[in-house]
Structure 1
């Protein structure tokens, strides 16, 4: 059990559990990150501490009886070593499977996003084409369209500019 689970079980905060362990110098196991890992015996000890505090005993006067923390030699008999290796192999297989599933999911998400972007770009292209058609219609309807415009552009330059604008806004 972790500190949060023990705290919930006892109805106290995680800081209270940590304070009891430190002040009473209880020999608790720690994981690779330095977090406490409590066994059932440890939970019974902490329940005893809580009960003594409830009856008015000061924290420094509490006598906590603890079971010895198992070491690597005593925690697992040799017969279970091969079982542990089998569990490690099984966990590695499950981890690899989960990694493959995660990669497939990531690929699916990226594919969906690409399709969505493509749809959005096609919609923008359709709007640009409609705008170009509207501009052409408006130019044709101008009364001065028959007359020479104030700014005279070479027809070839005008076509280049339209082509440039179309190339910028279309893919």
Structure 2
């Protein structure tokens, strides 16, 4: 009876890793393989134990405490939760303060703009007042001139006889 052989993809699925990881392990650890007629790597059943061993070693390197079951006391969990809540509250206060600062800055800028506009309006009102005074002065002079011309016509008309 012939032994079962697995392709790279099948080995990767059994170990829950990517096929690229299997190929890296083959090169790094000199795992024996054969190549089928399609050019695929094939692994015998006995090499599967090597892959499992390599995977366990890599997990220990990445997660050194994975094999240990640590029990966390409820008081420690409560303390950590309280510390986290304090940090969240502090961050919330910082956000509120920052928002207040931004609103204050915007109000100051708006106030400056309004003051500039008020000054400009006052200048324009002064100009309008000046123009109105000048217009009234011209109108009164025009009326005086009209009155003088009227009087000049009246005097000669006294001497005219019809």
TM-score, structure 2 normalization = 0.45
1 or 2, which has the higher helix percentage?
A: 2
TM-score, structure 1 normalization = 0.43
